[in-house]
Structure 1
Amino acid sequence: MTALRTALDTALDRTVLPGYSRIGYLVRRTSWPADDPRPDALRGRTAIVTGASSGLGKATALGLARLGATVRLAVRNLDKGRTALADIEREVPGAELVLDRCDVSDLEDVRRYAKELEAGQIHVLVHNAGVMPPKRALSPQGHELTLATHVLGPLLLTDLLRPKLAGGRVILIASGGMYTQQLPTEDPEYRNDPYRGATAYARSKRIQVALTPLLATRLAPDNITVATMHPGWSDTPGLTSSLPLFTKLTRPLLRTPAEGADTTVWLAATTPEPPTGKFWHDRQPRPTHYLARTQESPADRQHIWQYCLDATGL
């Protein structure tokens, strides 16, 4: 980036609304063409995308398929997954697609999926599956549902697929909403405070981002890189159902799912390989904190890390 572009990029990021909206994407996009992955960048490679039946997950699967990847759509609802697979096939004739069933929030189903997965090397694993329940809900193992879906399930699945992922890339889809939240060191299961779905979502995404460097260190011996990204504000079914008023007020500014998924696809396919353990937005590493009150200590991160390892049996 030139100094002017860097300054503009930073200004967009700090002012939130233009940076997270379609405005930020379109402004930044003007400097990306030379940085785009080549059209066959993922030919001969296999990618898994969780939560691929709609929204950002479906857009990510489509983007990876366009680059030649064999894409496994790991979904909870097979009927919705079949519809998504058919849509992608229409967009990318001849695409190599596989539909898998996996409920990422259910640790036993994650173990079943990893054991039964008929695949050789996995080059890309995208953790996109997400939930925002209006009331506190529990996973089959009794964990708060956003924590189970966004943190525990992805952590367990990544570890179980570690032999197949050697030399590959792991990407977790976070949210800019995590900037408002502290790491919930004393209450990761959201038992104590009055429950709000949007807050639970943001808290779990804060945990994702805080643990990314620790996960990167754990996987480094197998040459597996880890990245977390946030897609900005994208017009997806999940956003509409979870935050209908926000969606209604901001719809003219919302990114398309493809625009929201751009950085995920880029992280999966770009060369040279991006550095591990970073947090990304619009193809650039971003700070993980903007507010002093949200800062956590290394001891806080280690505490949450150990909690998650214990919860998943790792």
Structure 2
Amino acid sequence: MIGLVDNALDRSVIGGYSRLGFGLRARGWDADDPAVGSLANRTVAVTGGTSGIGAATAGRIAALGGHPILIGRSQDKADAVRAEIIHRHPSATVRVELCDISDLDQVRGLATRLAAAGVDIIIHNAGVMPPQRTESAQGHELSLAAHVLGPILLTELLEPTLTDSPDARVIFMSSGGMYTAELPVDDLEYRAGDYRGARAYARSKRVQTALLPILADRWQAAGVLVAGMHPGWVDTPGVADSLPGFKKVAAPLLRSADQGADTAVWLAATRPRPNTGLFWHDREPRPEHYLPRTRFSEHDRRLIWEQVRTAAALDANGAER
């Protein structure tokens, strides 16, 4: 019965993605909460860690004994988040790294620095939603670069470092909006048709989610758990800036940043280790599709991977080209 109710909440969208759904589901989580110290001595890189869900994620990692690395583009914002975390957790070790995840050259430099420091877990949370088609430093559509190319390249470059971790985990922060998007096999870079920022965001998150099983297989030999998840509807600065109309209408239903961070932190810390290659929401695996029109073949999944692999300059065997 609990499973049926949970599924009904998810299908209703409002019931599952809002703070109402979180509150109902969280009532049964006490025994499932990660134990105090469950991330002790674990270094966790959080992209987009300077505001919203990323900042909340880093704070909860510190509360569990982990060492968060805040990755963002603004030194001032990063310093402010770091100071707040240390204020709440005086013994926490919190580092800051500046990087634009959509810029693949900057990602390469970041990977070198993180490899020197050592990393156990990566939470790919950085997000963008430009109002008009914008290209990254390497000429890729910005949402694709920030949500897919940069995160995959960073993980690929850090694979040797993750191999040294006793329990490496990589978590992709997706969006429930990906359920509305088809896999853009014929137009990965969103060059055709009228560009809409929210649509570009959903498309890139669909690509990200579609690649989870491929990435899980690719990094399995390194012992890396790969998970995707979406946080529900969350009240963040990004939502306020990019979707002001939605924020105004849905404000009473929006989750807090801390609630949005919950499943990412749970995936990073929970024992026993979850199965790899799955998509999660509110601590449960979720379907890859809800709408028939978004379904795609395994052939299409492989086609999109080959395009992503080429765009990120990765060869078939794992080394950067």
Report TM bin, short chain: over 0.9
Offset, 1:91 = 2.0
1:295 aligned residue: 295
2:57 aligned residue: 60
Q: Quick one: distance in 2 between partners of 1:121 and 1:241?
A: 34
Q: Deviations over 1:163-183 (max 9, x none)?
A: 111240000000000000100
Give the one of 15, 18, 24 matched to 1:18.
15
SS of equivalent to 2:44: strand
1:282 aligned residue: 282
Q: Quick one: distance in 2 between partners of 1:293 and 1:149?
A: 26
1:271 aligned residue: 271
Q: Deviations over 1:122-177 (max 9, x none)?
A: 21100000000000000000000000000000000000000111240000000000
Q: How does 1:39-188 map to 2 (within 5 A)?
A: 39-117=36-114, 119-166=116-163, 167-188=167-188
SS of equivalent to 1:262: helix
More off after superposition, 234-243 vs 158-167:
158-167
Offset, 1:201 = 0.2
Q: How does 1:251-262 map to 2 (within 5 A)?
A: 251-262=251-262
Q: Quick one: distance in 1 between partners of 2:73 and 2:215?
A: 25
Give the one of 33, 37, 50 matched to 2:34.
37
1:226 aligned residue: 226
Q: Which runs of 4+ in 1 moved over 2 A?
A: 116-121
Q: Quick one: distance in 1 between partners of 2:113 and 2:123?
A: 19
SS of equivalent to 2:219: helix
Q: Which amino acid aligns with 1:181?
A: A
Contact 1:40 1:67 in 2 (8 A): yes
Offset, 1:87 = 1.5
1:309 aligned residue: 309
SS of equivalent to 2:182: coil
**Identity of counterpart residues, as a percentage?**
53
Paired residues, number: 311
SS of equivalent to 1:117: helix
Offset, 1:118 = 5.7
Q: Quick one: distance in 1 between partners of 2:212 and 2:26?
A: 26
Q: Which amino acid aligns with 2:10?
A: D
Contact 2:115 2:158 in 1 (8 A): no
TM-score normalised by L of structure 1 = 0.98
Q: Quick one: distance in 1 between partners of 2:141 and 2:35?
A: 41
Q: Which amino acid aligns with 1:113?
A: L
Give me the CA root mean square deviation. 0.9
1:6 aligned residue: 3
Q: Quick one: distance in 2 between partners of 1:163 and 1:85?
A: 28
Q: Quick one: distance in 2 between partners of 1:119 and 1:241?
A: 36
SS of equivalent to 1:28: helix
2:319 aligned residue: none
Q: Quick one: distance in 1 between partners of 2:304 and 2:274?
A: 26
1:246 aligned residue: 246
Q: Which amino acid aligns with 2:300?
A: D
Give the one of 8, 25, 28 matched to 2:25.
28
Q: Which amino acid aligns with 2:211?
A: L
Q: Quick one: distance in 1 between partners of 2:216 and 2:151?
A: 13
Q: Quick one: distance in 1 between partners of 2:146 and 2:205?
A: 10
Q: Quick one: distance in 2 between partners of 1:299 and 1:32?
A: 38
Offset, 1:117 = 2.8
Q: Which amino acid aligns with 2:103?
A: D
Contact 1:183 1:206 in 2 (8 A): yes
Q: Quick one: distance in 2 between partners of 1:212 and 1:120?
A: 26
SS of equivalent to 1:195: coil
Q: Quick one: distance in 1 between partners of 2:206 and 2:80?
A: 32
Q: Which amino acid aligns with 1:37?
A: P
Contact 1:120 1:164 in 2 (8 A): no
Contact 2:115 2:161 in 1 (8 A): no
Q: Deviations over 1:206-239 (max 9, x none)?
A: 0000001100000001110100000000000001
Q: Quick one: distance in 1 between partners of 2:42 and 2:122?
A: 11
More off after superposition, 192-201 vs 78-87:
78-87
Q: Which runs of 5+ in 2 are unaligned?
A: 315-321
SS of equivalent to 2:130: coil
Q: Quick one: distance in 2 between partners of 1:281 and 1:81?
A: 27
Q: Deviations over 1:263-294 (max 9, x none)?
A: 00000000000100000000000001011110
TM-score normalised by L of structure 2 = 0.95
